Structure 1
Amino acid sequence: MNELQYGYIKRNLEFSFQAKTSRGEIKTHAAYLVYAFHPSNPTLKGWGEASPLMGLSIDGTDNFEEQLSTILAYFNEGNSPLSVDLTSFPAVRFAIETAQLDLFNGGEQIVFDNTFIYGKSIPINGLVWMDSIDNMLVQAVTKIQEGYTCIKFKIGAHDFDVECKMLEQIRKQYPADRVEIRLDANGAFAPDDAVLKLKELARFGIHSIEQPIAPRQLDEMEEVCGKSPIPVALDEELIGLDPEEHGAKLLKFIKPKYLILKPTLLGGLGMSAKWVRKANEHEMDWWATSALESNIGLNAIAQWTAVQKTSLPQGLGTGNLYTNNIEGPLLAKAGALHFLPQNAWKLPHPELD
């Protein structure tokens, strides 16, 4: 494994719309497409992706590219990735892991032998991005009309009563037995009134809410999880934690209903699998969510998800976000992510970029 050589190509992914998040509007997202090859056959490459989110990933720093270049140069000197502690670089670990898996499986973007690549689609939620209330309603209705039966709203940016009216409008048209609603507060609620807000939101038949209060408030989150009528899912709370060292204690104390697994933020597929095992031990469910990766990262997460035992809608509908994504067989349509082998991958060429 330490005989492999590594390189990367940077691509600034351009959003096809105004992408507004709890951390402000983003127009581009830097994707670092990492490739691995053996010197005896340099034309055969395996691909991974390191695309940390600024302001959220622990390796989302201004000098990330410099750090990535230094790490890959160290590997290219003959040092094994296994000899390096990449805890502080979860996106790099994800990229190296998937590039190796792809290479060892023939360099055809097959990370695992799984049902997804043979035609079994993965159910996904339709994401409603932060925007004006009117535009969020339009997004939601459009997704439902396209065939999505699970809709996820980002909330916390508008007045709470206005957001409640938005959900009420959706529920008047689409009852809970027809459309599942998930919420993501991104830690927007204050601990002292979070439970009151969750009780108010519960009347709209909400499936779950992600991270109602900001992470690292363990006592407050434990109380919220215990009193909330809406099942709580942990998201940002997991970032930077080792599932073996901290995961068991965290889950036993807070007792969430769900975990949100983002391999780019958690340190790869292997680390995400450890969180799955911890969730199973505590009888909790989970779903995987992309972190705005290009189709290379999304493909790896989807294939990993396909080998897990889960039937919940996943957060993997981000492939259509960009005007310059890596073209390939992934297609999000009618509430599912599909793999269309007739749509060949159009991968970058390192020697040309």
Structure 2
Amino acid sequence: MKANYKKYLLNFKHPSGTSRGVMTEKETWFLMLEENGKTGIGECGILRSLSVDDRPDYEEKLKWVCDNIDLGKEELLAELTHFPSIQFGVETAFLSLVSKTPFELFPSDFTKGTTSMSINGLVWMGEEDFMKSQIEEKLESGFTCIKLKIGAIDFKRELELLRFIRQNFDAEKIEIRVDANGAFKPDDALEKMEQLAKFNLHSIEQPIKANQISRMRLLCENPPIPIALDEELIGVYGIENKNELLEKIKPQFIILKPSLVGGFSGTLEWIAAAEKLSIGWWITSALESNIGLNAITQFTYSLNSKLPQGLGTGGLYTNNVDCPLEISNGQINYNPSKKWNIKNLE
């Protein structure tokens, strides 16, 4: 078996804002395998400043994987515990290598194009007019679940955006999720959540920064809005530690990004830990290219979750890979008549 890797910069169509700053490009790495005339590809979707494997030796570790590819998937994964995005790339590349085609990793009615999955429409942070135009576009496009990133503009103006949605659509018609990305201070988080609760929200992601376990536990005890952990899960290794974290905090939901939590195997560990405690979950992408998004989407469909997932990021870039994934009326589907085109990567 041969293996090599390649760095690739994805360019955003529009600057995309979170509480950690504005992004104009996104770095990613592709792992390519070749054996007996077959090829496989996986994406190592590192997210700088957020991924636990944002380390100076990241590329060195990718080179080590290629030099030691004959160890096989399981042994490689065991050596990559502290590099979850590379774990995701390795898992995907090996699946791709043995699949009927390099991109049909989890064959199903979804990959046949006969069924689809509900997703949320993502509204990025920015000036009020920009956020409002995004909201209008998502509503016109048929989304019934909208996720707003909050914490960048004045909080009162963010409340006005929520009021704008609720003046036109009640909670029966439009589900609203908000993502604070840890932007609230522990001392005022509860007060802000109480103000947000007036708009009948589905949930709030990571209201305060991660690693404040006692403060987060208090917020989750009887929250005005159900709380979903996101960044809190990053860098937690092993099923015992995952069980312990969820038992301490007892959130209402967890949100799983395979590139950040150790690929498919790490995601399944979190799901097992959550379901033991009757904690809900959904899966989102972490700004991967369509290579990684395709893998996450097919994997997610195989788990049969009924909640809207966070998989609508494929249209963010000017230089993404052409693929059969399509979004229509708040649903993501796979159109087998559309062909993959990875010439961008050559």
TM-score range for the pair, normalised by the shorter chain length: over 0.9
Runs of at least 5 residues in structure 1 that lack an aligned partner in the other structure: none
1:321 aligns with 2:302: no
- In 2: Cα distance, 1:152 partner to 1:230 partner: 14
Q: Which residue of 2 aligns with 1:101?
A: 95
Deviation at 1:160, TM superposition (A): 1.6
Indicate if the aligned counterparts of 1:54 and 1:60 stay in contact, CA closer than 8 A.
yes
- Is the CA contact (8 Å cut-off) linking 1:47 and 1:98 kept in structure 2? yes
Instruction: Give the match for residue 200 of structure 2.
Output: 205
- Look up the match of 2:63: 69
Q: 1: CA distance between counterparts of 2:344 and 2:312? A: 26
- TM-superposed CA distance for 1:256, in Å, is 0.7
Of the three residues 29, 32, 50, the one matched with 2:29 is 32
- Tell me the distance in 2 between the aligned counterparts of 1:141 and 1:166: 11
Q: 2:49 aligns with which of 42, 46, 55?
A: 55
SS in 2 for 1:189: coil
Question: Which residue matches 1:80?
Answer: 72
Separation in 1 of the partners of 2:65 and 2:51? 18
Per-residue CA shift, 1:11-52, capped at 9, x if unaligned?
2111111111222111111221112221x32xx211110020
Contact 2:73 / 2:94 at 8 angstroms: preserved in 1?
no
- Considering only aligned residues, what root-mean-square deviation do their CA atoms show, in Å? 1.5
Q: After superposition, where does 1:219-298 map in structure 2 within 5 Å? A: 219-298=214-293
Per the normalisation by structure 2, the TM-score is 0.95
Residue 163 of structure 1 pairs with residue 158 of structure 2:
yes
The amino acid that maps onto 2:237 is D
Pairwise CA distance, 1:113: 2.1
Q: Which amino acid aligns with 1:267?
A: G
CA distance in 1, matches of 2:139, 2:312: 14
Deviation, 1:64, is: 2.5
User: Contact conserved, 1:137 with 1:170, CA < 8 A, in 2?
Assistant: no
Tell me, which stretches of 5 or more residues in structure 2 are unaligned?
none
Aligned residues: 343
1:276 CA displacement: 1.1
Q: Which residue of 1 aligns with 2:2?
A: 5
Q: After TM superposition, which residue ranges in structure 1, 4 or more long, deviate above 4 angstroms?
A: none
TM-score using structure 1 length: 0.93
- Amino acid in structure 1 at the alignment position of 2:215: E
2:338 pairs with 1:346: no
- Aligned partners of 1:47 and 1:107 also within 8 Å: no
Matches within 5 A, 1:183-202: 183-202=178-197
Distance 1:248 1:326 in 2: 37
Distance 1:242 1:64 in 2: 18
